[in-house]
Structure 1
Amino acid sequence: MTFDYSKLRGRIREVYGKYENLIPKISMSEATLSRKLNGKSYFDNQEILELSNALDIPSEERNLYFFKVEVREGEQKV
């Protein structure tokens, strides 16, 4: 399963301008953040909470940022 992090990417740009400005506020490297945003690994619960706090994402909106399933061309949403 692949997640669509486009809304999360937009929020990072909106709040911090660029990813490099977010890194000092969280406990992961730029390379790790990049890997996760590119679907090479998943965010764990602690990382989701930390990013949500750094980006002022309300708990009721986390699903929109972290759990939107990417639908590929030719696939159907379930």
Structure 2
Amino acid sequence: MAFDYSKLRGKIVEKYGTQCLFAKALGGSERTLSLKLNGRIYFTQIEIKRILELLDVDSNCVNTYFFTEKVQKVKQSLRGA
């Protein structure tokens, strides 16, 4: 299952300007954060809690930032009549 982290990315840029600065505030590397935002590695519960704190996001909004499923785009082919 893939998650859509676009709102999380937006909040990171809004609060910290870059993913690099945010990764440093989080205490990790930009590479690891990138892997997590691209769905290659999962966020831990502790990281999610810390991220919500750093971004001043209410814990009631956790689903919006971490558990929105990514919608797959399906290419439709047009068939001639």
Task: State the TM-score, normalizing by the size of structure 2.
Answer: 0.86
Tell me if 1:16 matches 2:11. no
Largest Rg, 1 or 2? 2
User: Contact 2:4–2:70 at 8 Å: present in 1 too?
Assistant: yes
| Structure 2 counterparts to residues 43-54 of structure 1, below 5 A | 43-54=43-54
CA deviation profile, 1:16-66 (whole Å, cap 9, x unmatched): 111111122112211110000011011010010111111111000011000
- Structure-2 separation of matches of 1:24 and 1:16: 10
Name stretches of at least 5 consecutive residues in structure 2 with no aligned partner: 75-81
Amino acid at match of 1:28: G
Give the 4+ runs in structure 1 shifted more than 4 A: none
| Structure 2 counterparts to residues 29-68 of structure 1, below 5 A | 29-68=29-68
- Structure-1 separation of matches of 2:37 and 2:27: 15
Task: State the TM-score, normalizing by the size of structure 1.
Answer: 0.89
Identity %: 46
Name stretches of at least 5 consecutive residues in structure 1 with no aligned partner: none
Q: What RMSD, in angstroms, separates the aligned Cα atoms of the two structures?
A: 0.9
Alignment: residue pair count: 74
